């Protein structure tokens, strides 16, 4: 990457001989103020350079002498007068290192000697597999730049889309491959974009790994020449690795300082990201559909669009990267964005009753939940078909007549009378072999003819790519929502794919299941939301096994993990927050000792752990004492007071629970700076060490804030009112001692400020 600093010298010389209208034009080109609002996307015809400027980010692309599209710069926003040298392909360094791979291209076809991961690999019907993409044309409309590339010989056109979010500088990139030839061809691999980073030996990669009930572990590794592949071959997003990465350029990692580039995929099927570091320590990141077992036949006149690969940059460290992503998700991705509703406090029956749900039992729980201020009552698994445990019933979406002899109506009416709305659990994409649906339609599941059908949690995956299955799933959900006053669906998905066959489809189209399944899932969600606009949906996959920006675009909240141990949750929620907004993260207060680790904790500790996201209660309220109810009522009310700041504000990790830290502290600052909310946790005191002093972040330096300890105690000598600077630089000491202790503070800005 070559960044050349101001060549405005040329401009100054030229100005002397320019007419007034030409001056205006020049000012526009250079984005000078003088009342001229610079466009986010501009094209410099002479230099053949596209420049995208948004928020604090500049992204610059050039067309080089070989007609390739080349990354010139991605990073901190450049000055309007800064110009960059035109693109020049890298010459390569030897016969083993050709220019085509050495040049940081924006999107590559596999051909012309390319040895790095290609974005697009095609086999043509005559056996030709060579694809060389050159610049064809472009358009700039509003916030979208579309650059078309075309193969040097065949009528294969690829439109590269760059959508800019002006508030955060996050770019959404995708590619649309179009077959303008006369014959079908097979796409064997198509990755949405290539993100190129300039050479550095200091790149640290972060990514998130997990397993059931142990999701969201933050991994960190130094990038060195070679390739790192992050992927899911599971048919869905998966729990093993999440489709998010962040790369820091720093030797000394600091939460809130330093250059960070980050990216996330909007796709809920099998996916892949490749991080290739070359011998010069330059990095290329490609991502999109997993190429594993992939084949998509593109007929003449048809096109295939990739998922979106979002990318962003900040110089405010990994903490700043999370804040930008959170803001982007809340304001641009979630369905109601930018006017999303704050998440209500909900109750969920799962840990209290398991599959053993019935009208009287649920109503009794609903009464108790309402008494502490719960706003939404959700009945989980067990209400339908012959569902007594996880061996039967999935697929038979009728209300179980023994458990609910009068249907759901009386219970829903009761929930409404108690002042709450009603939510219901569903797992629409699955079927138990022990179900009427499977007995009637055994061909509806993913399978290979004559081969065993591997069960996971005693269930099989319905092949949603089939139009009859899609119609069935949409039909029962629409009926359920039309016949019952349901405000919320918890949409679960409890296994990976196995035997991903689609025997009834034409042979050459069978592998399209990877794309069409997810497209149909999305289309069902879109259609349901359109017909039932007030219904909200939670994405759950046995916990956090389907969390990505694709599903987030169609669902209102996320269940990050089945692990509800409040101490484990500190690191689970912390990991989640690197990529996803706490405002959409559901967190339940459950029983103690918790089933996961048999750990006992106070109700206050459990509440404070869960209050760092979207608060829910999942405990068996039938076992609670009067004192528990009083504590819960107080904490639910406190949560509601602080909820807007927690769910919508900026998150600062004052002390991260990574690396077995005994302390962990989060701070949420309201967008307008009027309030900060702090949650502090202590695992165990050791050797009389005091709790670390907290230095707040993100306050207005000269505004005055009053501190309140809502739960827990401040050290005796703490002042009550002081400036933002004081709280950020002098800090505050809280008195936390013992095991599994927690505190909850708020800082209110003086109303005059």
Beta carbon nearer to ligand DGJ, 201 or 211: 211
Beta carbon nearer to ligand DGJ, 160 or 545: 545
Integer Cα distance of 520 and 510 in angstroms: 15
Q: Report DSSP letters for 553-567, one per residue.
A: TT-SEE--BS---HH
Binding string to ligand DGJ for residues 545 to 564, with x set by CB under 6 A, is what?
--------------x--x--
Integer Cα distance of 669 and 702 in angstroms: 16
Beta carbon nearer to ligand DGJ, 350 or 705: 350
Active-site residue (options: 90, 159, 492, 591): 492
Beta strands in 387-492 (DSSP E): 421-426, 430-431, 460-461, 488-491
CA distances in angstroms from 570 to 564, 652, 683, listed in the order given: 10, 14, 10
Beta carbon nearer to ligand DGJ, 169 or 544: 544
Is 126 in the active site? no
Beta carbon nearer to ligand DGJ, 542 or 566: 542
- Told to check if 384 binds ligand DGJ by CB under 6 A, we report no
Instruction: Give the H/E segment covering residue 577.
Output: helix 566-579
- Told to check if 425 binds ligand DGJ by CB under 6 A, we report yes
Beta carbon nearer to ligand DGJ, 147 or 411: 411
Beta carbon nearer to ligand DGJ, 185 or 377: 377
Q: Residue 233's Cα: distance from chain center in Å?
A: 18
Beta carbon nearer to ligand DGJ, 488 or 559: 559
Q: Which stretch binds ligand DGJ (CB under 6 A): 33-41, 369-377, 537-545, 630-638?
A: 537-545
CA distances in angstroms from 501 to 100, 494, 614, listed in the order given: 37, 19, 39
Q: Among residues 84, 158, 477, 540, which is the contact residue for ligand DGJ, using CB under 6 A?
A: 540
Integer Cα distance of 147 and 456 in angstroms: 44
- Tell me: cis bond preceding 593? Omega within 30 of 0 counts: yes
3-class state of residue 409 by DSSP: helix
- Told to check if 215 binds ligand DGJ by CB under 6 A, we report no
Query: Closest distance between ligand DGJ and the C-beta of residue 478, in Å?
Result: 22
Q: Sort residue 265 into left (φ over 0), alpha (ψ -120 to 50) or beta.
A: beta
Residues binding ligand DGJ: number (CB under 6 A): 11
Query: Closest distance between ligand DGJ and the C-beta of residue 427, in Å?
Result: 7
Compute the CA torsion angle 358, 364, 367, 368 (nearest 10 deg): -120
Is residue 613 within 8 A of residue 585, CB to CB? The reply is yes
Binding string to ligand DGJ for residues 321 to 350, with x set by CB under 6 A, is what?
-----------------------------x
Integer Cα distance of 614 and 555 in angstroms: 14
CA distances in angstroms from 540 to 166, 490, 535, 644, listed in the order given: 31, 7, 16, 23
Binding string to ligand DGJ for residues 480 to 499, with x set by CB under 6 A, is what?
------------x-x-----
- Told to check if 352 binds ligand DGJ by CB under 6 A, we report no
Beta carbon nearer to ligand DGJ, 516 or 546: 546
Q: Residue 130's Cα: distance from chain center in Å?
A: 35
Q: Among residues 428, 543, 698, 712, which is the contact residue for ligand DGJ, using CB under 6 A?
A: 543
Integer Cα distance of 337 and 208 in angstroms: 26
Which tokens belong to 565?
């141990």
- Told to check if 380 binds ligand DGJ by CB under 6 A, we report yes
Is residue 76 within 8 A of residue 56, CB to CB? The reply is yes
Query: Closest distance between ligand DGJ and the C-beta of residue 381, in Å?
Result: 4
Binding string to ligand DGJ for residues 48 to 87, with x set by CB under 6 A, is what?
----------------------------------------
Query: Closest distance between ligand DGJ and the C-beta of residue 344, in Å?
Result: 18
Q: What angle do CA 485, 490, 494 make, to 5 degrees?
A: 145
- Told to check if 667 binds ligand DGJ by CB under 6 A, we report no
Query: Closest distance between ligand DGJ and the C-beta of residue 540, in Å?
Result: 5
Query: Closest distance between ligand DGJ and the C-beta of residue 616, in Å?
Result: 10
3-class state of residue 537 by DSSP: strand
- Told to check if 542 binds ligand DGJ by CB under 6 A, we report yes
Residue with smallest beta-carbon separation from ligand DGJ: 381
Active-site residue (options: 82, 198, 381, 562): 562
Residues in the chain: 753
Site for ligand DGJ in 562-621 (CB under 6 A): 562
Is residue 379 within 8 A of residue 355, CB to CB? The reply is no
Is residue 323 within 8 A of residue 651, CB to CB? The reply is yes
Q: Which stretch binds ligand DGJ (CB under 6 A): 189-197, 398-406, 536-544, 703-711?
A: 536-544
Neighbours of 713 (CB within 10 A): 12
Is 591 in the active site? no
| Residues known to be catalytic | 492, 562
Q: Which residues bind ligand DGJ (CB under 6 A)?
A: 350, 380-381, 425, 492, 494, 540, 542-543, 559, 562
């Amino acid at each position: 990457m070559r960044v050349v600093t101001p060549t405005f010298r040329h401009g100054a010389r030229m100005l002397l001989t320019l007419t007034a209208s030409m001056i205006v034009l020049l000012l526009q080109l250079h984005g000078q103020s003088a009342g001229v609002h610079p466009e986010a996307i501009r094209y410099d015809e002479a230099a053949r350079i596209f420049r995208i400027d948004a928020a604090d980010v500049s992204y610059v692309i050039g067309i080089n002498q070989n007609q390739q599209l080349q990354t010139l710069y991605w990073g901190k926003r450049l000055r309007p007068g800064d110009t960059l040298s035109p693109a020049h392909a890298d010459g390569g360094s030897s016969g083993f290192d050709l220019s085509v791979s050495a040049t940081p291209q924006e999107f590559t076809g596999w051909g012309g000697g390319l040895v790095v991961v290609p974005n697009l690999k095609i086999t043509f019907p005559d056996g030709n597999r060579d694809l060389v993409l050159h610049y064809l044309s472009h358009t700039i409309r509003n916030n979208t730049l579309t650059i078309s590339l075309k193969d040097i010989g065949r009528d294969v056109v690829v439109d590269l889309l760059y959508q800019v979010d002006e508030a955060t500088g996050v770019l959404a990139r995708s590619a649309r491959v179009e077959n303008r030839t006369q014959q079908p061809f097979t796409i064997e691999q198509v990755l949405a974009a290539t993100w190129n980073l300039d050479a550095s030996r200091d790149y640290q990669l972060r990514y998130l790994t997990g397993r059931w009930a142990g999701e969201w572990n933050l991994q960190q590794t130094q990038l060195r020449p070679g390739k790192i592949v992050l992927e899911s071959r599971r048919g869905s997003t998966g729990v093993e690795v999440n489709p998010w990465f962040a790369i820091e350029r720093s030797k000394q990692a600091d939460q809130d300082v330093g250059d960070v580039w980050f990216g996330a995929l909007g796709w809920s099927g099998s996916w892949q990201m490749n991080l290739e570091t070359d011998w010069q320590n330059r990095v290329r990141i490609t991502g999109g559909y997993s190429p594993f077992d992939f084949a998509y036949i593109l007929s003449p006149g048809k096109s295939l669009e990739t998922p979106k690969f979002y990318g962003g940059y900040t110089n405010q460290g990994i903490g700043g990267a999370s804040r930008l992503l959170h803001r982007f998700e809340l304001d641009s991705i979630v369905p109601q964005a930018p006017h999303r509703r704050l998440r209500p406090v909900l109750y969920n029956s799962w840990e209290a009753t398991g599959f053993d749900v019935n009208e009287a039992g649920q109503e009794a729980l609903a009464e108790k939940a309402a008494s502490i201020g719960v706003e939404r009552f959700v009945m989980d698994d067990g209400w339908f078909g012959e569902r007594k445990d996880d061996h039967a019933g999935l697929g038979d979406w009728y209300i179980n007549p023994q458990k609910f002899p009068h249907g759901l109506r009386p219970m829903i009416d009761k929930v409404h009378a108690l002042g709450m709305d009603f939510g219901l659990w569903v797992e629409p994409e699955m079927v138990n072999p022990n179900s009427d649906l499977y007995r009637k339609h055994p061909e509806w599941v993913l399978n290979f003819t004559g081969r065993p059908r591997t069960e996971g949690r005693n269930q099989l995956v319905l092949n949603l790519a089939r139009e009859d299955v899609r119609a069935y799933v949409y039909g029962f959900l629409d009926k359920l929502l039309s016949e019952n006053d349901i405000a919320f669906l918890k949409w679960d998905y409890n296994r990976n794919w196995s035997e991903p066959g689609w025997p009834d489809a034409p042979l050459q189209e069978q592998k399209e299941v990877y794309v069409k399944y997810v497209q149909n899932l999305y289309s069902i969600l879109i259609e349901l939301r359109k017909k039932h606009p007030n219904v909200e949906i939670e994405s759950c996959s046995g916990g956090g096994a389907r969390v990505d920006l694709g599903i987030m675009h169609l669902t209102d909240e996320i269940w990050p993990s089945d692990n509800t141990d409040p101490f484990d949750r500190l690191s689970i929620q912390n990991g989640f927050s690197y990529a996803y907004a706490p405002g959409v993260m559901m967190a339940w207060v459950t029983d103690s000792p918790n089933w996961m680790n048999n750990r006992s904790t106070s109700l206050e500790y459990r509440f404070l752990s869960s209050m760092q996201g979207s608060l829910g209660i999942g405990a068996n309220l039938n076992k609670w004492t009067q004192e528990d109810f009083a504590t819960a009522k107080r904490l639910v009310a406190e949560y509601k007071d602080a909820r807007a700041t927690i769910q919508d504000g900026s998150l600062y990790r004052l002390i991260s629970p990574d690396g077995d830290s005994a302390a962990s502290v989060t701070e949420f600052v309201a967008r307008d700076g009027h309030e900060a909310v702090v949650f502090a946790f202590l695992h165990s005191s050791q050797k009389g060490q005091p709790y670390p002093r907290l230095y707040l972040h993100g306050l207005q330096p000269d505004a005055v804030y009053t501190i309140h300890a809502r739960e827990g105690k401040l050290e005796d000598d703490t002042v009550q009112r002081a400036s933002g600077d004081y709280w950020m630089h002098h800090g505050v000491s809280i008195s936390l001692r013992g095991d599994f202790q927690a505190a909850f503070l708020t800082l209110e800005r003086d109303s005059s400020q």
